[in-house]
Amino acid sequence: MARTPTTFDPFNAVAEPKRRQLIQAMGAEELSVNEIVERLGWNQPSVSKHLGVLKQVELVEERRVGRRRLYRVNAERLKPIFDWVTPFERMWSERFERLDNVLEKMKKEK
């Protein structure tokens, strides 16, 4: 067996840095391929191909209008990533850093 395919799930689709960049550049807007091309400065086939992957995992949705195709981010598909990573937040968050600091001080003052 080989590596998990990029189209397997949002985790794999989004592992590619350019695809993260693409999603971030789109934000909440609905954009045509050419608008994305201009915004990112990549060549058109590259944008289309990355959109193709994102579409397969439903991270973007496509709407055809005339000869253009309008894409928008389907943020719900990012929720599994958010849900997986969020529980770990307490391990690095400021609240606990502060707690650590307090404990450090208590040590020193003792």
Partner DNA sequence: TTGACATATTCCGATATGGGAATATAATAT
Partner DNA sequence: ATATTATATTCCCATATCGGAATATGTCAA
- Let me know: does 27 contact 71? Beta carbons within 8 Å: no
Nearer to a second copy by Cβ, of 96 and 102: the residue is: 96
CB of 68 to DNA, least distance (A): 3
- Let me know: does 13 contact 53? Beta carbons within 8 Å: yes
Token output for 96:
């606990």
Residue choice 43, 63, 93, 105 for contact with DNA (CB under 7 A): 43
Residue choice 62, 76, 89, 100 for contact with DNA (CB under 7 A): 62
Which value, in Å, is the radius of gyration of the alpha carbons in the chain?
A: 20
Distance from C-alpha of 75 to C-alpha of 97, rounded to nearest angstrom:
31
Q: Which does 62 bind (CB under 5 to 8 A by kind): a second copy, DNA, none?
A: DNA
Token output for 62:
């496509």
Site residues (vs a second copy, CB under 8 A) = 3-4, 6, 9, 11-12, 14-17, 20, 24, 28, 73, 75-76, 78-79, 81-82, 84-86, 88-89, 91-92
